[in-house]
Amino acid sequence: MGRLIKVKYSLIKDVEFIGGNHTGIFVSKACKPLELNEGEQVCAVSITPQERINPVKMSTTGCTLQDFLQIVKGDLINKKKEREIVLEMKNSRQEYVFACEWMKNNNGHGDYFFVRCNVYVDRRGDDDTSLHPGEIYLVKNTCHDIDHWLTHNVDPISGKMSMATTLIPNKQHAQVRRLSHGRSLDEEDKIKRGGFKVKGSVYDRVVPLKAIIKLPIFVVGPDTSLITAFLNLIRTTLSDTYIVHMKQSDDGYHRDSMEDTEISRQDLHVVMPGSLELIKSRTIDCIFIFLNVTTHISHTDLMTLFDIEYDEMRHQDLVTQSMFIKDQVLETKHNLGEICIPPVNTKDSLIRKFHTSVTTAQERLLWLSSSEIDEQIAVKYPSYLGQYCDLNKLSQRGQSFYQN
């Protein structure tokens, strides 16, 4: 435990801090009245929030600079009673030198973490960026201005980062601007003026990982009989590589009919029927394959490919439904392995395309939050997943200050 410094709120606003989630938080300029020295690291903070009697202690591990400044200098503290802030300090000159060197190479900032956008965020200004669910950003400065983070856009599949910087709204500003899909801006504004609060986090802090087990596969398409025929084809030709289950499972697990126990295969892919609703609700730790029937294939060729007799009217229904599913998936911005029929027009080419799509999807990056991976793995990435500050939760409930 480091030394403890008790500071009145009215005095701490003059103290200068630098750093971020990656480097840690440091005092950047000595403050003799408070006995704070340049280079000392803040390890933890104890404050008494609004509506609370007892103080709350918070570690700064993984804490962004913006969150830290909100904690010690924001409106969270009960200023009327002039409660004290207690800083737990550690004097480590070497760590400070390393942090300053790292920040020098990071445009002067100590923040460095990935976020995944969970909602639609509308563009409302020249400097604003419209955001969509599933987009990944590397945040490198949480204090660019009062409303924005300085980031780089990241390709969620390859992990490649754009060289150009992008301003995105910070989590407080994004919460105000978030747009429920399907509503107009006027409708959304009326809802918010009426006191309606949209639930859920705008961003999740995530870490890029690759799967070490075979991910479950969900097959979606315009018709259940088409999906069933395709699964039977997989079962017949690729039984040594895939396990086929004809009933949909929302979690990638299946029941053993003999023992009535839940099992999950990790050495082989489990293939089962999917749905559009499943795509919208779960896209991270599984693979989706979409059978897209186009206008260019005849109902006769469909019958040859899937051994199902389709008349011309039903064939047109398949095309219409395929277009609807594709439009819905494109709006979610989620990755989907697509098998277009045609140019795929033989059973052999269908099998080859399926296997290639699965292999590509298995190798892609998975952007996972701490709630989506085992705790033993999450603790290995405190800087990336770290402490995600929910100021409202602390002031209202006083339970857990950080939300991952």
Q: How far apart are CA 24 and CA 40, in angstroms?
A: 10
Q: How far apart are CA 87 and CA 12, in angstroms?
A: 10
Q: How far apart are CA 262 and CA 254, in angstroms?
A: 6
Q: Is 126 exposed, middle or buried (0-12, 13-18, 19+ CB in 10 A)?
A: exposed
Residue 64 and residue 26 in one domain:
yes
Residue 44 and residue 183 in one domain:
no
- Which has the closest alpha carbon to 70: 392, 397, 396, 403? 392
Residue 249 and residue 323 in one domain:
yes
* Residue 37 belongs to domain spanning: 3-107+388-396
The per-residue pLDDT for 333 is: 60
Residue 123 and residue 100 in one domain:
no
Position 234 pLDDT exceeds 80: yes
Residue 374, domain member (yes or no): no
Report the range out of 106-110, 150-154, 336-340 with the highest average pLDDT: 150-154
Residue 375, domain member (yes or no): no
* Structure tokens belonging to residue 375: 């705790």
Q: Which amino acid is at 186?
A: D
Quickly tell me which residue has 């801006």 as its tokens: 185
Position 344 pLDDT exceeds 90: no
Residues 6+ apart with CB under 8 A from 35: 5
Position 307 pLDDT exceeds 70: yes
CATH value at residue 205: 2.30.30.40
Tens digits of residue pLDDT in 99-145: 999 999 888 899 999 999 988 887 666 555 688 888 999 999 999 99
Q: Which of 119-128, 144-153, 179-188 has the lowest mean pLDDT?
A: 179-188
The per-residue pLDDT for 1 is: 66
Instruction: Return the HEC string of 64-85.
Output: CHHHHHHHHHCCCECCCCCCEE
The per-residue pLDDT for 53 is: 63
CATH value at residue 346: 3.40.50
Q: How confident is the model at residue 196 (pLDDT cuts 50, 70, 90)?
A: very low
Average confidence score pLDDT of the chain: 80
Position 187 pLDDT exceeds 60: no
| Displacement of CA 122 from its chain's centroid (Å) | 18
Residue 221 and residue 357 in one domain:
yes
CB 249 within 8 A of CB 272: yes
Q: How far apart are CA 44 and CA 124, in angstroms?
A: 37
Residue 62 and residue 186 in one domain:
no
Q: Name the helix (H) or strand (E) containing 96.
A: helix 93-104
- Which has the closest alpha carbon to 292: 357, 223, 381? 223
Q: How far apart are CA 285 and CA 218, in angstroms?
A: 11
Q: How confident is the model at residue 261 (pLDDT cuts 50, 70, 90)?
A: very low
Residue 222 and residue 341 in one domain:
yes
Residue 160 and residue 234 in one domain:
no
Residue 401, domain member (yes or no): no
- Strands 161-169, 148-154: pairing is antiparallel
Residues 6+ apart with CB under 8 A from 257: none
Residue 370, domain member (yes or no): no
Higher-confidence position of 240 and 113: 113
Q: How confident is the model at residue 402 (pLDDT cuts 50, 70, 90)?
A: very low
Render 119-144 in DSSP notation, one character per residue.
SEE---STT---B-TT-EEEEEETTS
Residues 6+ apart with CB under 8 A from 83: 9, 47, 48, 55, 77
- Is the dihedral angle over the CA atoms 369, 370, 374, 377 positive or is it negative? positive
Higher-confidence position of 251 and 365: 365
Q: How far apart are CA 386 and CA 63, in angstroms?
A: 6
Position 350 pLDDT exceeds 90: yes
